[in-house]
Amino acid sequence: MLVQGELAATFLAGIAFSVIADLLMESWKKCEQPGFFLMLWLLIPLPVVVYGHLLIKYLLPCMPAVILTCFRLAESVPARMAPAGGVILIIGATIYSVLILRSDAEFAEFGRSAMAELIQPHTATGETVWYGGTFSAYWYAPLDGARLYVVGTSEPKSGDLLVVGFREGGRVKYSLRRLHICDGK
């Protein structure tokens, strides 16, 4: 079942796909090669959309195509409407940028606080806490006193703690698990 954020992302992706498909078909019907290749250029990040999180860096290679396409589409806008459209675009882009920065800060704070709450009380009492190298744990766990678990290099003992991160419903959650190691006898 899709959660609210995934539903909105799916809806927006559907709109984006429809717009690109429409512009691609329009360029094909008019035999307009520059427009057709600009639309193909926009499809560069398509292979990575299947992953759980689409990093913005994958969209950078197609930004020149987006700008050139906007210039091509702006030719049909009346000259009196262009300044208003520019102001709306600047305001919208500013709001979007602030939202991205705020969500990034919240996500970083979530990992930082989760590692501190899970690890510090146990390392303060002398217990050994291990972590695997994923997401926030890789950066914040060593700062709170945890050790990196590497197979064959560092071996935890039975009774040690392991910080585990897992995804549930599109959100990353962390928990501590007590290790019970069998020696194979």
Average pLDDT on 21-45 reads: 86
Cα separation, 56 vs 125, in Å, equals 41
Handedness of CA 12, 107, 110, 167 (dihedral sign): positive
Cα separation, 183 vs 172, in Å, equals 32
More confident residue, 57 or 127: 127
**What pLDDT, on a 0 to 100 scale, did the predictor assign at position 184?**
42
Cα separation, 183 vs 181, in Å, equals 6
| Domain edge (last residue) among 76, 99, 134 | 76
**What pLDDT, on a 0 to 100 scale, did the predictor assign at position 98?**
94
**What pLDDT, on a 0 to 100 scale, did the predictor assign at position 185?**
38
**What pLDDT, on a 0 to 100 scale, did the predictor assign at position 182?**
47
Together in a domain, 71 and 116: no
Angle between helices 63-74 and 33-41 (to 10 degrees): 140
23-27, 39-43, 130-134: least confidently modelled range = 130-134
Together in a domain, 124 and 165: yes
| Domain edge (last residue) among 60, 76, 92 | 76
Together in a domain, 70 and 116: no
Domain limits for position 132: 109-178
Together in a domain, 52 and 113: no
| Domain edge (last residue) among 76, 101, 125 | 76
pLDDT digits (tens, 9 = 90+) for 90-116: 999 999 999 989 988 887 787 788 888
**What pLDDT, on a 0 to 100 scale, did the predictor assign at position 175?**
64
Place of tokens 């090669």: 33
Domain count along the chain? 2
pLDDT above 80: residue 26: yes
10-24, 37-51, 106-120, 155-169: least confidently modelled range = 155-169
Q: Indicate whether 166 belongs to any domain.
A: yes
Together in a domain, 16 and 70: yes
Together in a domain, 173 and 114: yes
Q: Indicate whether 85 belongs to any domain.
A: no
- Which stretch of DSSP H or E encloses residue 166? strand 161-168
3-state secondary structure (DSSP) of residue 171: strand
Q: What is the dihedral of CA 30, 33, 34, 37, to 10 degrees?
A: 110
- Give the model's confidence band at 170: pLDDT under 50 very low, under 70 low, under 90 confident, else very high: very low
Q: Indicate whether 154 belongs to any domain.
A: yes
Together in a domain, 72 and 126: no
Q: Indicate whether 90 belongs to any domain.
A: no
Going by the DSSP 8-state scheme, the letter that residue 147 receives in this structure is: E
Cα separation, 130 vs 149, in Å, equals 6
Together in a domain, 16 and 60: yes
